[in-house]
Structure 1
């Protein structure tokens, strides 16, 4: 995780995106979570066995640029709309995890005949309860050594996925990627905490076939939050994956890939 840079560069919307494309077939735009994406992302690798998967580092993550005008998730969404047009993607499935789920939901809300379906995996981005109820864990107060136990089902699972956070032993590029990713997620998600107060009411605009997948050990946004997310999107399916946390695609990528691919295949069959 956050070790190997993506191989290519594409400029769109004033952003130089770090990007990779794997596989052949129907296109999938994969939108990564709070920890970023690297060239060995396990979910991307599995989806690419039957689809053409396009994955980019969000503006400010990895080696993607973040121009001065890109300061909010709203700006990121429009940069992705420009990227989809620049790559001339059509009939593309949106698959977003965590922060990427927020971005994917915002893209779907805006609507485009280029998008075919939506898969949200432990997505943040919306507020369903009243103002006094905290629904999204405040990750910004966490020290680096506290992150694994919150982002994953257990601290041990997180340390394994995050290379034990042994920064003195990590290549310099990997340490820089992690630091840059954390700086950018703070910029985009500090206040209000990882959500757009208006998104909840806009989710009714989503017209795409939608699957919402959730880890039953998600400590950042619990299963009830996931059910509320699915309930706000007409016709959305909601499924729980056992034994994984917020970054469950690193803990059990096979299960998330299996359910995502089954959903995408069923959509083509309709």
Structure 2
């Protein structure tokens, strides 16, 4: 069993280059999963992380600028995030790590995998963004920043009871976390909108078993995008979870964790 001394439960991770991120560690499995979140609140992923921790030691950081993680001035691109996490894997000495990318985190995971899979044994993408599959005028990803929140909730979740709802009635800390996450998401993914136009041409470099999981009721990025994304990753497998929307791990945490553990 590999040891993981760089992070303890409910603490942070020192990532080098002066970057210290808020992070959680759960479980004591022999396998390690690095979970890269999307723009959801950390609390929303709690059930998923707990389910995954039944079979893995799970490390889940908040990206720089998201949640309670500070962002250094130089960290402004998804490239920066990918190198940050790859550097942490190198310094940790861990091998055979399962990298799980959730939505925006899927884009970060893809950028990591095309650069180096030396310490990565498996890649898992859950309703990921990051790749342009259609033509320049094809709208593949709904504009998160221009969509009214009530409509956005319906697109993010198959069951809107999972949504935070009207932020005017939310707890102040929740509303602030949503605002900070959305501000960071806009900085990293405003233009080009939530994708790297070069990434598609380098996906042949992903040489580890890959699993693409998609919510069957994803109203942000349709399941057809997910199937095509899986087809572009050598040997990738596609799984659809019919009862889930865009944040499938929030609505179906046990089912998503089981798919990852069994892969």
After the TM superposition, which parts of structure 1 deviate over 6 Å for at least 4 consecutive aligned residues? Answer: none
Is 2:25 the counterpart of 1:24?
Answer: no
8 Å Cα contact 1:20-1:39 kept in structure 2: no
TM-score of the pair, normalised by structure 1: 0.88
Give the SS at the match of 2:165.
Answer: helix
Question: Which moves more between the two structures, 207-216 or 6-15?
Answer: 6-15
1:245-260 equivalences under 5 Å are: 245-260=245-260
2:93 corresponds to which residue? 88
Q: Deviations over 1:208-239 (max 9, x none)?
A: 10011111111111111111111111111111
8 Å Cα contact 1:96-1:102 kept in structure 2: yes
Give the SS at the match of 1:235.
Answer: coil
Structure 1 segments unaligned to the other structure (5+ residues): 1-5, 264-270
1:15 corresponds to which residue? 19
Shift of 1:84: 2.2
What number of residue pairs does the alignment pair up?
A: 253
Give the SS at the match of 1:38.
Answer: helix
Residues 84 and 37 (structure 1 numbering): CA distance in 2 closer, same or farther, change over 3 Å?
A: farther
TM-score of the pair, normalised by structure 2: 0.91
Shift of 1:71: 0.9
Is 2:147 the counterpart of 1:142?
Answer: yes
8 Å Cα contact 1:36-1:57 kept in structure 2: no
Question: Which moves more between the two structures, 38-47 or 248-257?
Answer: 38-47
Question: Which moves more between the two structures, 40-49 or 113-122?
Answer: 40-49
Residues 39 and 239 (structure 1 numbering): CA distance in 2 closer, same or farther, change over 3 Å?
A: closer
2:116 corresponds to which residue? 111
Residues 85 and 173 (structure 1 numbering): CA distance in 2 closer, same or farther, change over 3 Å?
A: farther
Shift of 1:82: 2.4
Give the SS at the match of 1:140.
Answer: coil
Question: Which moves more between the two structures, 121-130 or 73-82?
Answer: 73-82
